A and B are shown apart, each in its own frame.
Chain A
Amino acid sequence: MTDVSVAFGGVTALSEVSLVVEPGQVHGLIGPNGAGKTTLFNVACGIVRADSGSITWRDRQLRRLRPDQLARLGIARTLQGVGLFAGLTVLENVMIGAHRHARAGFASALFALPRSDKDERELRTRATAALADLGAEHYADRYPGSLPYPVQKRVALARALVSSPDLLLLDEPASGLAEDEMRELGELIRTLSGRMSVLLVEHHMDLVMSVCDRVTVLDSGRLIASGTTEEVQADPAVTAAYLGEDVDVAHDAAELHSGDHSERAHRA
């Protein structure tokens, strides 16, 4: 991602931000609220188109591609909150994630030809395995709305992982999780890193500092620091903008938490 800029009606959300996610690494993206983290994520997965700059993944230009095209190229994303389909079972939710691996064409799926039958079974097996990896296989036939929030988050993660993405975008995966669940999540992200690249937006600094290989810090749409966790922590610009303001961080976290609660209430 090179010199990416995005403006929403005159308000600059990102200004010439460059960022490189190395293969097999976990890359953290942090910054105060409104720093442009979510915008950058949206650019990376195609929801928002960058006004200028270039986005390259494995020598392919991505700037003009749609989200579904990016997903088929192996870029998967989890959403803030969970974003599961309420009307689909847990297993079906995960099966949708594996969509890009189905080989049978559209017509054969529509008319249920044998090839698509085989596809169907493979999808199901894949989805079940992905759920089992995250310890959520018991919930396969339940509807997401009836499950506790942490389980929903695990299902959402399984849905992202089932496609075996090359690049996984995690948008605040730890929000709403308890201390020990967060630790498990951290370990999980570490085990993923060998298999894929991970770009992680997260407010919980402990998690970011413990799992990330490199960290990029944004503030007001600008890149203010980038480097290893140690380098970033030692950077005075970062301390000034973010890490030093303990009160602010705690405030962010609290706000995030209450936000999740209202979201959950809305879903229920």
Chain B
Amino acid sequence: MQQFIDTTLSGLAQGMVFAAFALALVLIWRSTRIVNFAQGSMAMATTFVALALVHAGWNYWLAFVVALVSGFVLGAVVERVIIRRVEGGPELNAVIVTLGLFVAIQAAVAIIAGSSFQSFPAPFGLRGFTIGGNTIALTPNRVFVIVAVLVTMGLLVALFRFTRVGLAMRAAAFGQEVARLLGVRVGRMLTLGWALAAVVGSLAGLLIAGGSFVYPAYMDSLIVFGFVAAVLGGLDSPIGAVVGGLVLGLALAYVSAYFGGSSVVNLAALVILVVVLLVRPGGLFASTQARRA
């Protein structure tokens, strides 16, 4: 029982990070119909920004905020300078460009910061809470991870539902041409969408790095997990991405605990991806219908 509860708790915490990363992918997919394979590299780069600042003696939280802001800037610049040229073109071009970015950013960070493992600080304790003499797998840091992702999601929902900019972003996602005719600066909305997605991706990168090691490729598996979570949720639905992330986090935790250990986790994620694509290619929360604006 104890093991089951621990597995569930760590699965949920992992799932929250997957959810955040999947959400970043979905935000970009909705507005530009591009799967941003460079998301992980971009997040990794901002985590290294935070690490450099921490090493320079900065406060963790200050470094955290600067990393998120640099994620915003990086996302905006990438969209405006590079992605803008392949938007609306053949899908394969965009895929190749984001894959190229993925490799290029990773290589650049490796050149600048080296490719050795470096420990990344956690803002909160990594020792589990003790309930009735038993230490459970819920650590203060995991609580922070869950809360941080929930708060971010709440802010995104508020932005999209209750602000004029959010409304314009949704309109631009549903029909660029019509939105343009109504006076929406579609280009600016796309840039903003990428910037926001990069912030959410950076958050996922920072959270998963906390109390662990970072190196230029440390986000690679998260790209796979985040993508699987996003596809589970239908790629189009933010809520789907969150649920997909949690489902995947739990599934992988159970696989790791009960069926063969951590070595089969990556395999299990890909099996889930294949099964979903075969059985329900639209994802569990398909809303492709609603998109035909």
Binding site for B on A (CB under 8 A): 45, 47, 66-68, 71-72, 76-77, 79, 83-88, 92, 95-97, 99-100, 102, 104, 106, 109-110, 112, 116, 119-120, 123, 143, 145, 159, 163, 266-267
Q: Which listed segment binds A: B126-134, B164-172, B223-231? A: B164-172
Contacting residues, chain B, for A119 (C-beta < 8 A): 164
Minimum Cβ distance to chain A for residue B197 (Å)? 15
Q: How many angstroms from the CA of A71 to the CA of B168 in the assembled complex?
A: 14
Does A87 contact B164, Cβ atoms closer than 8 Å? no
Q: How many angstroms from the CA of A119 to the CA of B162 in the assembled complex?
A: 11
The DSSP consensus for interface residues of chain B is helix
Q: Hey, what's the 0/1 contact readout for B130-170 against A, CB within 8 Å counting as 1? A: 00000000000000000000000000001100111101101
Does B163 contact A96, Cβ atoms closer than 8 Å? no
Contacting residues, chain A, for B278 (C-beta < 8 A): none
Q: How many angstroms from the CA of A105 to the CA of B168 in the assembled complex?
A: 13
Does A159 contact B181, Cβ atoms closer than 8 Å? no
Q: How many angstroms from the CA of A198 to the CA of B70 in the assembled complex?
A: 48
Does A99 contact B184, Cβ atoms closer than 8 Å? yes
Contacting residues, chain B, for A79 (C-beta < 8 A): 178, 181
Q: How many angstroms from the CA of A76 to the CA of B183 in the assembled complex?
A: 9
Number of contact residues on B: which range applies? 20 to 34
Q: How many angstroms from the CA of A112 to the CA of B154 in the assembled complex?
A: 14
Does B183 contact A71, Cβ atoms closer than 8 Å? yes
Q: How many angstroms from the CA of A123 to the CA of B166 in the assembled complex?
A: 14
Does B163 contact A120, Cβ atoms closer than 8 Å? yes
Q: How many angstroms from the CA of A68 to the CA of B167 in the assembled complex?
A: 16
Q: 9 closest Cβ contacts across the A-B interface?
A: A71-B183, A85-B174, A67-B180, A109-B165, A100-B183, A96-B171, A87-B290, A72-B183, A85-B293
Contacting residues, chain B, for A92 (C-beta < 8 A): 167, 170-171
Is the C-beta of B177 less than 8 angstroms from some C-beta in chain A?
yes
Minimum Cβ distance to chain A for residue B120 (Å)? 29
Q: How many angstroms from the CA of A100 to the CA of B159 in the assembled complex?
A: 19
Contacting residues, chain A, for B177 (C-beta < 8 A): 47, 67
* Listed A/B pairs (9) with beta-carbon separation below 8 Å: A68-B186, A79-B181, A88-B167, A96-B168, A96-B171, A96-B182, A99-B183, A100-B183, A120-B162
Is the C-beta of B185 less than 8 angstroms from some C-beta in chain A?
yes
Does A68 contact B184, Cβ atoms closer than 8 Å? yes
Does A96 contact B180, Cβ atoms closer than 8 Å? no
Assuming the A-B contacts A83-B175, A88-B174, A109-B164, are A67 and B293 also in contact, with contact meaning beta carbons closer than 8 angstroms in the complex?
no
Does A71 contact B162, Cβ atoms closer than 8 Å? no
Contacting residues, chain A, for B170 (C-beta < 8 A): 85, 87-88, 92
Q: How many angstroms from the CA of A83 to the CA of B188 in the assembled complex?
A: 22
Q: How many angstroms from the CA of A163 to the CA of B181 in the assembled complex?
A: 12
Other-chain residue from B158, B179, B188, B287 in contact with A96 (beta carbon distance below 8 A):
B179
Does B174 contact A87, Cβ atoms closer than 8 Å? yes
Contacting residues, chain B, for A76 (C-beta < 8 A): 182
* Known contacts A85-B171, A119-B164; 5 further A-B pairs (Cβ under 8 A): A85-B174, A86-B293, A92-B167, A95-B164, A267-B292
Most chain B beta-carbon contacts within 10 A, residue among A47, A72, A85, A97: A85
Does A47 contact B181, Cβ atoms closer than 8 Å? yes
Q: Hey, what's the 0/1 contact readout for B50-66 against A, CB within 8 Å counting as 1? A: 00000000000000000
Does B164 contact A116, Cβ atoms closer than 8 Å? yes
Minimum Cβ distance to chain A for residue B237 (Å)? 11
Does B167 contact A159, Cβ atoms closer than 8 Å? no
Contacting residues, chain A, for B178 (C-beta < 8 A): 79, 83, 85
Query: Which residues of B198-251 are within 8 A (CB) of A?
Result: none
Assuming the A-B contacts A88-B174, A100-B183, are A120 and B164 also in contact, with contact meaning beta carbons closer than 8 angstroms in the complex?
yes
Does B168 contact A99, Cβ atoms closer than 8 Å? yes
Most chain B beta-carbon contacts within 10 A, residue among A72, A87, A100: A87
Does B291 contact A87, Cβ atoms closer than 8 Å? yes
Q: How many angstroms from the CA of A262 to the CA of B158 in the assembled complex?
A: 37
Contacting residues, chain B, for A143 (C-beta < 8 A): 290
Minimum Cβ distance to chain A for residue B99 (Å)? 29
Assuming the A-B contacts A83-B175, A86-B290, A86-B292, are A110 and B181 also in contact, with contact meaning beta carbons closer than 8 angstroms in the complex?
no
Minimum Cβ distance to chain A for residue B44 (Å)? 26
Most chain A beta-carbon contacts within 10 A, residue among B159, B165, B175, B177: B165
Contacting residues, chain A, for B181 (C-beta < 8 A): 45, 47, 67-68, 71, 77, 79
Contacting residues, chain B, for A96 (C-beta < 8 A): 167-168, 171, 179, 182, 184
Assuming the A-B contacts A77-B181, A83-B178, A96-B171, are A112 and B158 also in contact, with contact meaning beta carbons closer than 8 angstroms in the complex?
yes
Quick one: closest A residue to B236, CB to CB? Answer: A87
Q: How many angstroms from the CA of A106 to the CA of B293 in the assembled complex?
A: 25
Quick one: closest A residue to B183, CB to CB? Answer: A71
Assuming the A-B contacts A96-B168, A112-B162, A116-B163, are A159 and B174 also in contact, with contact meaning beta carbons closer than 8 angstroms in the complex?
no
Minimum Cβ distance to chain A for residue B241 (Å)? 16
Does B180 contact A110, Cβ atoms closer than 8 Å? no
Quick one: closest A residue to B185, CB to CB? Answer: A68
Q: How many angstroms from the CA of A68 to the CA of B181 in the assembled complex?
A: 6
Other-chain residue from B168, B179, B182, B291 in contact with A86 (beta carbon distance below 8 A):
B291
Q: How many angstroms from the CA of A67 to the CA of B185 in the assembled complex?
A: 9
